[in-house]
Amino acid sequence: MPTIRDVSRLANVSVATVSRVINANQPVSADTKARVVAAMAELGYQPNSNAKALATNRSDILGMVLGDLGGPFFGDLMAQAEEETRRLKRHLLVTAGGHSRDIELEAIDFLLRRQVDALMLHVDSLTDADLYELSTKTDTPIVLINRYVPDLHAHCIHVNNEVGGELITRHLIEQGHEAIACITGPLYKGDSRGRLQGYRRALEQAGLPYVEQRVVESDYMEAGGSEAIERLLSRKTPFTAVVCGNDLMAFGAIRSLRLHGFSVPQDIDVTGYDDIVLSSYVEPSLTTIHVPIGAMGVQAARLAVQLATGQRPTAQQAFEPQLVVRGSTRSRSSDQSSQPMHSKFVQQQ
């Protein structure tokens, strides 16, 4: 690999001049510039980014930590963030956090050692306190994706989970449901709590009681959704609809309900959250909340660059969730009410 020194020799100039031509940040006469350009072309010269990063203390790389790299949710986020990063003349270094505290911390360390210009984090296992501490320990700017940490307000790209939970619960109430169960994600996570809070608020606004027996905590996994249904059924507190904390748990819930002889949505309505691609293809297609994760990825990249270059942040930080009505919920006319399902419910038990 030729170096800047090889170029300077061939073009008969100093290395400083070559550097000036490369970065176009200081005046160079037209003909020296031409000589240098020719020399670079002849040698097939490529500047060494590590050396440049070492000298300038910036790498033009944005670091990103995600729960995992597969899956429609992260895929969309990553794809959009990468595109925007490229548009901003930067590159994206992605690492999987593996949903584990140690791996997430290791990933962050790695990126910091690499002198990334900013960090974009979509982390599960780190606490708000961890993140705040991290932000004080390093002066690398941090952007949190799909998470709201009050102390890091200016660094969050977030979506209002409470509104999402409220929207989808209200939708079920409008369909005529009065006994609505809820399967939440892990409640140590802020988004799970937010969605649950929205569920409560919608009930409250409709004058319906909040019944603890109808609420179970699960793990955002498909199997967890199945298992949660088992728990709900075993409690013998009837319900005619289930609000799930995400789409995957909704799939699990539907499967489990079917095993127990309920059909969706004829007997019981089920809703998801996230609007992953699958949700519009499954049978029945899933009524869910759309999270604009791609758009959030774009804005995360913008915010990261703005923070890194000291510009005034203009990236959109707060996003609104959107209700997507599909086949897993259906309008109940008042006469057929939910009574028949109650009886079937009891009979099934």
Spell out the residues 6+ positions from residue 129 whose beta carbon is closer than 8 angstroms to its own: none
Question: With binding defined as CB under 7 A, does residue 1 bind DNA?
Answer: yes
Binding to its own copies in span 46-105, by CB under 8 A = 46-51, 53-54, 59, 68-72, 74-76, 78-80, 82-83, 86, 91-96, 98, 103
Q: What is the dihedral of CA 284, 288, 294, 298, to 10 degrees?
A: 170
Question: With binding defined as CB under 8 A, does residue 109 bind its own copies?
Answer: yes
Distance of closest approach, residue 4 Cβ to DNA, in angstroms: 3
- Look up residue 344 and give its DSSP letter: H
Count of residues interacting with DNA (CB under 7 A): 32
Q: Which CB atom, from 137 or from 312, has the smaller least distance to its own copies?
A: 137
Window of 43-51, 95-103, 170-178, 246-254 that interacts with DNA by CB under 7 A:
43-51
Q: Which CB atom, from 259 or from 346, has the smaller least distance to its own copies?
A: 259
List the one residue from 29, 30, 44, 333 that touches its own copies (CB under 8 A): 44
**Mind giving me the DSSP string for 110-145?**
HHHHTT-SEEEE--SSS-HHHHHHHHHH--S-EEEE
Task: Show the DSSP H helices in 12-151 as ranges.
Answer: 15-23, 30-43, 49-56, 72-87, 101-113, 128-137
Q: Are 210 and 203 in contact (CB under 8 A)?
A: yes
Distance of closest approach, residue 101 Cβ to its own copies, in angstroms: 15
Distance of closest approach, residue 12 Cβ to DNA, in angstroms: 6
Q: Are 119 and 111 in contact (CB under 8 A)?
A: yes
269 binding partner (options its own copies, DNA, none; Cβ < 5 to 8 Å by kind): none
Exposed/middle/buried for residue 131 (C-beta within 10 Å: 0-12, 13-18, 19+):
buried
29 binding partner (options DNA, its own copies, none; Cβ < 5 to 8 Å by kind): DNA
Strand order in the sheet with 215-217: 215-217, 180-184, 241-244, 269-271
Q: Which residues pair with 143 in a beta bridge?
A: 120
Q: Which residues pair with 94 in a beta bridge?
A: 64
List the one residue from 54, 69, 79, 154 that touches DNA (CB under 7 A): 54
**Does an H or E element contain 165, and which?**
helix 161-174
Q: Which residues pair with 289 in a beta bridge?
A: 323
Query: Binding string to DNA for residues 182 to 221, with x set by CB under 7 A, is what?
Result: ----------------------------------------
**Largest interatomic CA distance in the chain:** 92
Count of residues interacting with its own copies (CB under 8 A): 44
Q: Which CB atom, from 28 or from 208, has the smaller least distance to DNA?
A: 28
Question: With binding defined as CB under 7 A, does residue 171 bind DNA?
Answer: no
Q: Which CB atom, from 5 or from 236, has the smaller least distance to DNA?
A: 5
Selection from 132, 133, 176, 147 nearest residue 65 by Cα: 147
Question: With binding defined as CB under 7 A, does residue 26 bind DNA?
Answer: yes
Instruction: Give residues in contact with its own copies (CB under 8 A).
Output: 44, 46-51, 53-54, 59, 68-72, 74-76, 78-80, 82-83, 86, 91-96, 98, 103, 109-110, 112-115, 137, 277-278, 281-283
Contacting positions for DNA (CB under 7 A): 1, 3-5, 12-17, 19-20, 22-23, 25-29, 31-33, 45-48, 51-52, 54-57
